[in-house]
Chain A
């Protein structure tokens, strides 16, 4: 065994050792790359939403009311508030990403689409306080006098009374509209002792308390309208001036609604309306776990078939290629963890597919090797000639697949579709590493046999046997 090959074997051993420890370790720190492997399955890989289950939402921010220069800030601000809202609901590891100019993608592992959390995330949640116009107040009094007052909610919905912003003089001497901006972030849900209905208790900032005092002083025995996103919520009658800066929102509906309102008020209003999600996806978590299990079985069955075929057909080189294929598998898994690649179902399929494709380079080389051996070369000469000649075909054919991967990846990015990106990235890593294992690892293994007694036994390389059959009427 020459020195070059000893060095190559050492490199392979070190790489394999590092890769294996990366695959087996759960959580660790890589210098320059940071912490790796805080995943939620045994190999510590990151799972995509299609495997972990949960909800995927994409919102489109309505930037029509916002200047170009502040648009980016508004979208960033909306993302921060969405994060606060999600955290209020205790979702673990939410992923909130900006897509393109105006889109926000929200991934909530382990949360069902139909859940309340999902329904409130995109609400603008602009709370404000309003009062009746003098004419509307007159109308309410007239109706009450006749005993025909049907309630504020009904009149508001029918458009028979009109509300205007409740304003007061702020600290800087200007007129200020009292809104959710003036709430402290500590609202809470309680049940009313009178009606046993849920209600939201709030406290105001010092400026808000001052505004509230002025407004309530003016509105004694009149209704104070509370609106959320321009929709009527309730209108308690002010009994006395409120100076303590705290109040209650009643008539909210169910406990879920009250909790949702609390979350919204504590996180604050979105700086830009998001509207309804343009993509909603609800993925069952047990489906992902089941898919992982099934893919694993399929992967093992496929791998065993490939290994068996390689060993039966190509004999000794096949055994070496099988060894190289196992090294390949470990290298790919290590790359997934170190980069890190978020594992999706399509990505797993790509990995399994790449196992089948990875042997292609070996097949190309071994077929060449056979030809060279049949042409009467020694094993050493045949190995070098076989590798050198097969290289062009390996390079050319893999580049075409890598081009496809690049285009798929770009398409996935444009679509903001993690499945497509995951597949492209996984397949590209697989192809790159398969070239490495075929060219470097298999060749190094084969060279071990050069100059040994085994090198003379061509049947080990599948040559003598093939020559007995009619398949080998080669043109020389």
Chain B
């Protein structure tokens, strides 16, 4: 039988070290807050012609956004000449249809940057119903696509396209203070005058007011979750001699798990958004879930033999529930790892937070929460506090 209890100080030390590193990172560099919590605007600007990163930076400075972060990424794309309606509604529909048609064939994401008409919109006087114009679209695929495949596909679908050209486009990921709609129109016009045709994709914008509110509500939610779970644990263990000690140890375990996940996200500068908060709260729920199963067994075994040594009751209970603890986290890890490997980039940070949380949550219910109960019962915690020089000096 593996002895969880007598080696507990080593486990506490290991966890303490990991948490310490995380806390140092949190203090030193904080969290990489997404614009959901820090406010601002992110978008991807795609230019038809070559644009220097420095020139674009200068342009943003002159447009009153000197702090905008600008990240260059060259994107492989196909320039496609196509006749499209000028009416925005019809035009949007045709582009969506094109994206959908191509997705059905190439099984990947397709971004369409619309560089607009080249100025020769055919619009008969007096008739504003259906002018069409020659347009250059940039098709940006998520995976490599062969040009002849693409032209064959367009022919199959019956598009009357003019020319296809493989190219590398200058694309920039912009993150700035909040840019509102009217200002965005101005910025796009200014950039178009300076650098030629462009399109903005994936615009995401949060006003400072909303961001402040989100931070506030999220803080409430985390506090409420911790309080709700604490009350629940105290209720669940109300018939035991020391319900507070069980509740406190479960809370220590969940704080342990939350700190490790936060520390890792801080250390690796992973973005913190509302999806991350979901993951964090789910991890908290999962951690408590695991801890409760073990504590339940401790409760049951203790009732069976009230005179047994508490440390060995805990150890027996951990051993008895070991298979369950490992198997449950294994099956949960199976699906999480599958999501991590195959689920795509959109949710990978979210799934990563969950995976770390599930592993750490299983560890903490075995090696932290339950051994901590023994420490509590033996009064080691009080002695630890007495040992802290500050306290002794005062007492």
Residues of A participating in the B interface, judged by any CB pair closer than 8 Å: 58, 60, 89-90, 110-119, 122, 189-191, 193, 196, 198, 255-256, 258-259, 276-287, 289-291, 293-295, 297-299, 301-303, 305-306, 309-310, 313, 345-346, 349, 352-353, 355-357, 359-360, 363-364, 367, 371, 389, 392-393, 396-401, 403-408, 410-411, 414-415, 417, 419-420, 423-424, 427, 471, 473-475
By a CB distance below 8 angstroms, the chain B residues around A189 are: 128
Chain A facing B: main interface SS: helix
Pair A256/B335 contact, Cβ less than 8 Å:
no
Pair A281/B203 contact, Cβ less than 8 Å:
yes
Pair B111/A289 contact, Cβ less than 8 Å:
no
* Chain A nearest Cβ from B144, distance in angstroms: 15
Pair A301/B328 contact, Cβ less than 8 Å:
no
Pair A411/B221 contact, Cβ less than 8 Å:
yes
Pair A287/B109 contact, Cβ less than 8 Å:
yes
Instruction: Output the nearest chain A residue to B286 by Cβ-Cβ distance.
Output: A401
Expressed in whole angstroms, the Cα–Cα distance for A305 and B340 within the complex equals 14
Pair A353/B335 contact, Cβ less than 8 Å:
yes
Pair A291/B225 contact, Cβ less than 8 Å:
no
Expressed in whole angstroms, the Cα–Cα distance for A163 and B342 within the complex equals 64
By a CB distance below 8 angstroms, the chain A residues around B200 are: 114
* Chain B 257-300: CB-based contact to A (< 8 A → 1; otherwise 0): 00000000000000000110110011011101110110011001
By a CB distance below 8 angstroms, the chain A residues around B331 are: 305-306, 309-310, 356-357, 359-360, 363
Pick from A279, A286, A298: contact of B210, CB under 8 Å: A279
Expressed in whole angstroms, the Cα–Cα distance for A196 and B99 within the complex equals 34
Pair B324/A363 contact, Cβ less than 8 Å:
yes
Enumerate B302-322 residues with CB–CB distance to A below 8 Å: 316, 320-321
* Contacts beyond the supplied A255-B121, A359-B328: 15 A-B pairs with Cβ under 8 Å: A58-B210, A115-B88, A115-B92, A198-B128, A256-B88, A285-B96, A294-B342, A294-B343, A301-B341, A302-B336, A363-B327, A363-B328, A363-B331, A405-B285, A423-B278
Pair A392/B111 contact, Cβ less than 8 Å:
no
Expressed in whole angstroms, the Cα–Cα distance for A277 and B204 within the complex equals 11
Max chain B Cβ within 10 angstroms of own Cβ: one of A122, A287, A297, A404: A404
Asked, given contacts A110-B92, A404-B282, whether A295 binds B344 with beta carbons under 8 Å apart, the answer is yes
Expressed in whole angstroms, the Cα–Cα distance for A407 and B230 within the complex equals 14
One of B6-14, B100-108, B150-158, B373-381 contacting the partner: B100-108
* Chain B 137-160: CB-based contact to A (< 8 A → 1; otherwise 0): 000001000000000000000000
Pair A191/B202 contact, Cβ less than 8 Å:
no
Pair A400/B229 contact, Cβ less than 8 Å:
yes
Q: Can you sample 13 A-B contacts with CB below 8 Å?
A: A276-B182, A280-B203, A282-B202, A295-B339, A295-B343, A305-B331, A349-B351, A363-B324, A396-B296, A405-B285, A411-B220, A419-B275, A420-B277
B83: Cβ under 8 A from any A Cβ: no
* Chain A nearest Cβ from B150, distance in angstroms: 15
Instruction: Output the nearest chain B residue to A310 by Cβ-Cβ distance.
Output: B331
* Chain B 82-123: CB-based contact to A (< 8 A → 1; otherwise 0): 000011110011001001100100011111000000000101
Pick from A193, A280, A290, A360: contact of B103, CB under 8 Å: A290
By a CB distance below 8 angstroms, the chain B residues around A279 are: 205-207, 210
Pair A403/B285 contact, Cβ less than 8 Å:
yes
Asked, given contacts A353-B354, A404-B284, whether A420 binds B293 with beta carbons under 8 Å apart, the answer is no
Pair A407/B338 contact, Cβ less than 8 Å:
no
Expressed in whole angstroms, the Cα–Cα distance for A397 and B229 within the complex equals 11
By a CB distance below 8 angstroms, the chain B residues around A110 are: 92-93, 96
* Chain A nearest Cβ from B128, distance in angstroms: 5
Residues of B participating in the A interface, judged by any CB pair closer than 8 Å: 1, 41, 43, 86-89, 92-93, 96, 99-100, 103, 107-111, 121, 123, 125-128, 131, 142, 180-182, 185, 188, 199-207, 209-210, 213-214, 217-218, 220-221, 224-225, 228-229, 232-233, 236, 274-275, 277-278, 281-282, 284-286, 288-290, 292-293, 296-297, 300, 316, 320-321, 323-324, 327-328, 330-339, 341-344, 346-347, 350-351, 354
* Chain B nearest Cβ from A412, distance in angstroms: 8
Pair A411/B218 contact, Cβ less than 8 Å:
yes
Pick from A283, A356, A404, A405: contact of B332, CB under 8 Å: A356
Pick from A118, A198, A285, A396: contact of B99, CB under 8 Å: A285
Expressed in whole angstroms, the Cα–Cα distance for A464 and B214 within the complex equals 55
Pair A190/B128 contact, Cβ less than 8 Å:
yes
Expressed in whole angstroms, the Cα–Cα distance for A90 and B92 within the complex equals 11
By a CB distance below 8 angstroms, the chain B residues around A306 are: 331, 334-335
* Chain A nearest Cβ from B293, distance in angstroms: 5
* Chain B nearest Cβ from A64, distance in angstroms: 15
Pick from A286, A398, A419, A420: contact of B110, CB under 8 Å: A286
Expressed in whole angstroms, the Cα–Cα distance for A306 and B339 within the complex equals 13
By a CB distance below 8 angstroms, the chain B residues around A310 are: 331
* Chain A nearest Cβ from B328, distance in angstroms: 4
Pair A393/B297 contact, Cβ less than 8 Å:
yes
Expressed in whole angstroms, the Cα–Cα distance for A277 and B221 within the complex equals 25
By a CB distance below 8 angstroms, the chain A residues around B210 are: 58, 278-279
Asked, given contacts A111-B92, A396-B296, whether A291 binds B346 with beta carbons under 8 Å apart, the answer is yes
* Chain A nearest Cβ from B107, distance in angstroms: 7
Pair A90/B89 contact, Cβ less than 8 Å:
yes
Expressed in whole angstroms, the Cα–Cα distance for A346 and B277 within the complex equals 12
* Chain B nearest Cβ from A189, distance in angstroms: 5
Expressed in whole angstroms, the Cα–Cα distance for A356 and B149 within the complex equals 40
Pick from A355, A398, A424: contact of B335, CB under 8 Å: A355
Expressed in whole angstroms, the Cα–Cα distance for A327 and B320 within the complex equals 29
Pair A191/B201 contact, Cβ less than 8 Å:
no
Expressed in whole angstroms, the Cα–Cα distance for A417 and B343 within the complex equals 22
Pair B335/A352 contact, Cβ less than 8 Å:
yes
Instruction: Output the nearest chain A residue to B204 by Cβ-Cβ distance.
Output: A281
Pair B289/A278 contact, Cβ less than 8 Å:
no
Expressed in whole angstroms, the Cα–Cα distance for A417 and B213 within the complex equals 12
Pick from B180, B204, B334: contact of A276, CB under 8 Å: B180
